[in-house]
Amino acid sequence: MLSPIRIDHPENHGLPAVALSRFFDMIEKNNLLVNSFMLLQEGRITARMWRAPYRPESLFV
């Protein structure tokens, strides 16, 4: 059985939350075709984002 990936704050891994916010803003501003994004740092999820109609429950190939 797989164990879930733990979630943590990006600041705990040296990445300011404001930098992530700017990154996501630039994705939107430049109309980049990013449907979902997940950042893993040291084996933990520190950022994630989905655009409609995608959701965390969606299956990805």
11-54 per-position pLDDT tens digit:
999 999 999 999 999 999 999 999 999 999 999 999 999 988 88
Nearest to 47 by CA among 20, 13, 18, 16: 20
Tell how strand 36-41 and strand 44-50 pair up: antiparallel
Nearest to 11 by CA among 46, 51, 58, 48: 46
pLDDT at 57: 80
Higher pLDDT, 46 or 3: 46
pTM (two decimals): 0.78
Is a pLDDT exceeding 90 seen at residue 60?
no
For the CA atoms of 30, 13, 55, 52, what is the dihedral angle to 10 degrees?
-20
Is a pLDDT exceeding 70 seen at residue 61?
no
